[in-house]
Structure 1
Amino acid sequence: MHNHGLGSWMSKRRLKSPDKVALVFDGRTVTYGRLADDTDRLSALLWSRGIRKGDAVAYMGENSPEFIQTMFACAQLGAVFVPVNTRLAPPEVSHVLADSGARLLIHDLEFAARVANGVEAGRIAHVLLTGDGAPGIPGLDTLLSEASRGHADAAVTLDDPAAIIYTSGTTGRAKGAVLTHGNLTWVALNCIVDYDVVSTDTALMISPLFHVASLGMGALPVLLKGATMVLEKGFEAGRALALIEEHHVTMLSGVPTTYQLLADHPAWAETDLSSLAKLTCGGSAVPHRILNAYEDRGLHFSQGYGMTETSPGATSLSPDKTRSKQGSAGLAHFFTDVRIADETGAMVSRGTVGEIEISGPNVFRGYHNLHEATAQAFTSDGWFRSGDLGYLDADGYLFISDRLKDMIISGGENIYPAEVENLINDIEGISGVAVIGVPDERWGEVPWAVVTVREDATVTTESVRAKLDGVLARYKLPKNVVVIEDLPRTASGKIRKADLRARFSR
């Protein structure tokens, strides 16, 4: 076997557990043997369309077996998988397709209009449709049934790039984090060790796989271990509760909003949740109300901290520490290290706030075609600079204090204010803008735009949202636009966002 990366996983699973159910999707089951066969056919199909080692293949679609097949087919060829967030607006999609240099795109039919401009402007030579395709255009169901069963393979090492995951940039445009086969393998191993993933687990996947957390810490450890994944296109609380009971789900991951919606659903009290053993939550700390609701049912959370650049897990807080270490993001994952540095780069003592720095085989190598940004992201001795502030307590548990980058996390989605601010600044009548996160009971926090306007100009929430709609993903649109006379600034002219957050978060 020349392939030492993710591309070897399916063939090995076919040998070890061919009849084990790998995926449950839309009322049907897919065994590891069938998943491996379909992956082989897809890799052969991609090869026939000219995809070779190092080529980027983009995928824009909801959760499905085809998503999994495409990822592993790319890995077999040494191609680079580029999952595209289905919530992005057309200009954002175009940027991802162009920046990644994708040579082939696979997408659900419903996203045809959103990818059109990006396909036309980019380097994409082939476009394939998932499922049944469209009138006169065969989809993957037909193409794979006609494809060669030969196993297309390439020499791949753990240091070769496996995926480019786009993360919203602090200066506006999304940056592509290049994750290697080693990065994704080690983050899966971290999860297997720290979350006790076993082959008898059944995981319910209700979060979109284009998110690195769902991919790196959800799908990959489950498939590496040979467990079963119940794959859902989207999240609906009542259906999720029914699936937990029907399939005796043991593992569930999500963000606080996910768990709140489950607990608030009318079927919550009557649903049999006795099979659930492993709940993981990311994005932000779990509120007391949700903790109480789950603990009343005998359920406990693992919480954690990470980012796209760490594939994404950096730390985890085990369920037995949820109360005694309330508010902590936990300890560094088993194969990962975390330290705290001051503004000069020197290490600080326990309990002292500084920048969180991360090291380990799960940490990415850099941003795609952004050498300066990559250099700035690492210390001289190779640790990743998170841009977040925090401290380690006496026991080594990490506590997050603030975000240097002002990132907003709304319902598990990362929103970088600069990206939104750049567009709002171009709206007629607006003379200044600051986008901040304001606490929200359902979403954790939501973006607000605080603006100043020119004389005689009229600016409303509706007018701003209308200008941005179709340009930005809807979750990035400000939920409220507040007009004030002057934005508070430092002596150097920088907007004091902390002052605005304090004023509008009451």
Structure 2
Amino acid sequence: MNLGIGSWPARRAKVRPDDVAIVFEGRERTYREVDQRVTRLANALASAGVSRGDRVAYMGFNHPALLETFFAAGLIGAVCVLINPRLRKPEVDYILRDCGATVVVFGEDQRGNAGELAAELDVLQWLSVDGGGPGALFEDFLASGSEEPVQDDVDLEALALIMYTSGTTGRPKGAMLTHNNLFYQYVNALIGQDLRQDEVHLAAAPLFHIAGLNMMTLPTFTLGGRIIIHRTFKAAAVLTEMEQSRVTSAFLVPAMLDALSSDPAFPEADLSTVRGFMVGGSPLPERTIRTWQDKKVAIMQGFGMTETGPGVCMLEPRDGLVKAGSAGRAHFFTENQVVDLDGRPVPPGVPGEVIVQGPNVMAGYWNKPEETARALDGGWYHSGDIAVVDEDGYMYIKDRIKDMYISGGENVYPAEVENALLSVPGVQEAAVIGVPDDKWGETGRAFVVLTPSTHLTSEAMREELKQRLATYKVPRDIVLVDELPRNATGKIQKHALRANA
């Protein structure tokens, strides 16, 4: 019997075959059609030589083919590997070699890399979603597959998905997620969020990121809702889609919320059907929460990581302002602790490392047994994130352990300083690092991007911070920059800031 994620299109098609499952660029596909396409693709992959445990890679922006590849690989017991299409050739080369991909599906954005790598890598089959590049056309390959139902048994503890971490300090690591990991992630998401069978979910955040895929998109599919896919996020297009298609939910990151609320169409936009957004990536300022409350849109916030599928904590809409800045409390089937250097739980208000345990936690890192052993020491995933928990059990993420610096004997968490900077009117983005200081050992240096037409001096920002933070937390220097360095997943590269500090 196959209870794995690959069987889910067929299971959903049995219940509501004629309901619309996916909408992409005006084209609708029902659950019956998705099931038929996934079956054909799975059979075509098997005929091409893909076996149980083989890796099938997808590198491209949002497209129905991404979900079809994910389900089809799972249906025959293969492992889907999702690759960020913003990566450059050396980065893609490393991941494809590391995972040993047997099939690579690519979008037009990766056509150039695919063309160069096809001559260098031992890949059974290259498949082009949009045409051009090496190998066959995805649609032709899919159509060549049989419609016969796939009868393969798939163990729930078998690998289903490998997602590579961003690698801000080194080579990316492939987090291995099993069918069971994904099942419990979706159960956690469905319990924690108000998703329904009549959901109209807008998938504009990257589906090649763990949260874009697993927090709302696939849980919506499991329920039988409608998923509207946008290749990339564009604020104006998203607002228009929300109005015209009567969207009810979306997963977004804070920068997307700001882009939507800054769009000229936002004040008059009819968002009356939107029940709520799931937001992750960083805590939301109170002003952002209030902006969306004025639109009657509920904001759920979450904290997680690739290694946990991603769910660790969730903050319900009713707590958004009361517990502003919090990541919330643990998901239903997840246990979290904040511990000291010896692994002992710390009392409320005392910083420590976040460790996570539960059926959603990864099986380990692909081909990295030593790093797996360190990360999963004692049966808990050690996140490297510093947090405090309040008396009510709400977690507040302070920073990454490696980003904390010590000024005059006091621990300073850059994320706290960054949040204070973001509360200053006119500050669009901020990043803080520790730099050597003869007197204090280390002190802070902030890099700030201002909103257009804002004229703020560094000293004015420092004065604002002195009203919000202890003196030792206020950066000695505030440097105005046009943009902050980011990696392919959009994370700020603090090591690049340190190198130029």
The bucket for the TM-score relative to the shorter chain is 0.7 to 0.9
> Following superposition of structure 1 onto structure 2, how do residues 9-28 of structure 1 map, counting pairs within 5 Å?
9-28=8-27
Match of 1:291 in 2: 289
Residue type of the partner of 1:164?
A: I
How far does residue 138 in structure 1 lie from its aligned partner after superposition? 4.6
Structure 1 position 109, deviation (Å) = 3.3
Amino acid at match of 1:61: G
Listed one character per residue, the Cα deviations across residues 371-427 of structure 1 (whole Å, up to 9, x for unaligned) are: 0000100232x01111011121111111112211439999xxxxx99xxxxxxxxxx
Pick one of 301, 306, 309 that aligns with 1:311: 309
Say if 2:114 and 2:133, in contact at 8 Å, map to a contact too: no
Instruction: Please state whether the residue corresponding to 2:287 is helix, strand or coil.
Output: helix
1:35-94, Cα deviation, whole Å (9 max, x unpaired): 000000000110111001000000111211111110000000100000110111111111
Partner in structure 2 of residue 99 of structure 1: 98
Whole-Å separation in 1 of the counterparts to 2:182 and 2:295: 34
Q: Paired residue for 2:172? A: 174
Secondary structure, in 3 states, of the residue corresponding to 1:98? Answer: helix
Larger mean CA deviation between 36-45 and 169-178 belongs to 169-178
Tell me what 1:255 maps to. 253
CA distance in 2, matches of 1:474, 1:193: 28
Conserved 8 A contact 2:55-2:101: yes
Instruction: Evaluate the alpha carbon distance shift between residue 169 and residue 482 of structure 1 in structure 2; reply closer, same or farther with a 3 A threshold.
Output: closer
Q: Give the Å deviation of 1:263.
A: 0.5
Which residue of 2 is the match for residue 364 of structure 1?
Answer: 362
Counterpart in 2 of 1:121?
120
1:300/1:109 CA distance change after superposition, 3 Å: closer
- CA separation in 2, counterparts of 1:258 and 1:152? 40
SS at match of 1:41: helix
Alignment-derived partner of residue 38 in structure 2: 39
Alignment of 1:138-177 (within 5 A): 138-169=136-167, 171-177=169-175
Aligned to 1:228: 226
| Residue 343, structure 1, aligned to residue 351, structure 2 | no
Residue in structure 2 matched with residue 423 of structure 1 by the alignment: none
Name the CA shift for 1:304/1:97 in 2 (closer, same or farther; >3 Å): same
Amino acid at match of 1:147: G
Contact 1:95 1:118 in 2 (8 A): no
Distance 1:318 1:481 in 2: 35
Structure 2 CA distance for aligned equivalents of residues 151 and 66 of structure 1? 19
Deviation, 1:154, is 2.2
Q: Quick one: which amino acid aligns to residue 389 of structure 2?
A: L
Q: Taking structure 1 as reference, are residues 153 and 74 closer, same or farther at Cα in structure 2, changes over 3 Å only?
A: farther
| Residue 309 of structure 1, CA deviation | 0.3
Describe the superposition over 1:135-193 as per-residue Cα deviations: whole angstroms up to 9, x where unpaired. Answer: 99651223333432122342212211001100023640000000111111111111111
Equivalent-residue separation in structure 2 for 1:291 and 1:342 (angstroms):
32
Q: Provide the secondary structure at the position in 1 that maps to 2:184.
A: helix
CA distance in 2, matches of 1:481, 1:347: 34
2:286 and 2:321 in contact (8 A); partners too: no
**Which residue does the alignment assign to 1:187?**
185
Distance 2:297 2:491 in 1: 32
Distance in 1, matches of 2:403 and 2:178, equals: 28
Contact 2:165/2:306 (<8 A) preserved: yes
Return the offset for 1:112. Answer: 1.9
Residue 224 of structure 1 aligns to a residue whose secondary structure is helix
User: Is 1:239 paired with 2:230?
Assistant: no
Distance (Å, rounded) in 2 between the aligned partners of 1:482 and 1:199: 46
Instruction: Report the equivalent of 2:425.
Output: none
How far apart, in 2, do the equivalents of 1:370 and 1:441 lie?
Answer: 41
Cα distance in 2 for partners of 1:135, 1:392 equals: 51
Residues 224, 237 of structure 1: alpha-carbon distance in 2 compared, 3 angstrom cutoff: same
Residues 1:63 and 2:62 are matched in the alignment: yes
Match for residue 210 of structure 2?
A: 212
Q: Name the TM-score, length of structure 2 as normaliser.
A: 0.82
5+ residue gaps, structure 1, are 411-415, 418-434, 443-460, 488-499, 501-506
1:440/1:203 CA distance change after superposition, 3 Å? farther
Hey, what's the Cα distance between the residues in 1 that align with 2:237 and 2:43? 36
The aligned residue for residue 88 of structure 1 is 87
Q: CA RMSD in A?
A: 3.0
1:48 corresponds to 2:12: no
Q: 1:198 to 1:342 in 2, by over 3 A?
A: same
Q: Structure 2: how far apart are the matches of 1:480 and 1:176?
A: 21
User: Identity, % of aligned pairs?
Assistant: 37
Q: 2:350 aligns with which of 349, 352, 356?
A: 352
Listed as ranges, the matches of 1:364-403 within 5 Å are 364-380=362-378, 382-403=379-400
Deviation for aligned residue 1:110? 3.6
Say whether the 8 Å CA contact 1:359–1:384 is kept in structure 2: yes
Amino acid at match of 1:276: V
Distance in 1 between the 2:350 and 2:111 partners?
51
The answer for unaligned runs of 5 or more in structure 2 is 405-413, 419-430, 433-443, 452-480
Count of aligned pairs between the two proteins: 439
Q: Is the partner of 1:187 in helix, strand or coil?
A: helix
Q: Secondary structure, in 3 states, of the residue corresponding to 2:278?
A: strand
- Where 1:249 maps in the other structure, the secondary structure is coil
Measure the CA separation in 1 of the matches of 2:230 and 2:2: 30
Q: 1:351 to 1:155 in 2, by over 3 A?
A: same
Paired with 1:253 and 1:310, the residues of 2 have a C-alpha distance of: 17
Change in CA separation of 1:53 and 1:202 when aligned onto 2, cut-off 3 Å: same
**1:333 is aligned with what amino acid?**
H
Secondary structure of 1:189's match? helix
Cα deviations across residues 259-283 of structure 1 (Å, max 9, x unaligned)? 1010011111111100011111100
Alpha-carbon separation, structure 1, partners of 2:216 and 2:403 = 27
The TM-score, its normalising length taken from structure 1, stands at 0.81
- Shift in Å, 1:123: 3.1
Q: Distance in 1 between matches of 2:23 and 2:54?
A: 30
Q: What letter matches 1:373 in structure 2?
A: E
Output the amino acid matched with 1:343. Answer: L
Higher mean alpha-carbon deviation, 177-186 vs 397-406, is at 397-406
Once the two structures are TM-superposed, the CA of residue 300 in structure 1 deviates from its matched residue by 2.5
Classify the secondary structure of the residue corresponding to 1:400.
strand
Matched, 1:197 2:195: yes
Q: Partner of 1:269: helix, strand, or coil? A: helix
**Mapped contact 2:41–2:143 kept (Cα < 8 A):** no
Q: Distance in 1 between matches of 2:445 and 2:190?
A: 36
8 Å Cα contact 1:47/1:152 also seen in 2: no
Find the residue that maps to 1:325 and give its secondary structure. coil
Matches of 1:211 and 1:477 in 2, distance apart? 16
Q: Which amino acid aligns with 2:247?
A: V
Letter paired with 1:235:
F
Q: Matches of 2:289 and 2:174 in 1, distance apart? A: 35
Q: Distance in 2 between matches of 1:113 and 1:437?
A: 38
Cα–Cα, structure 1 residues 49 and 340, in superposed 2: closer, same or farther, change >3 Å? same
Q: Distance in 2 between matches of 1:240 and 1:155?
A: 40
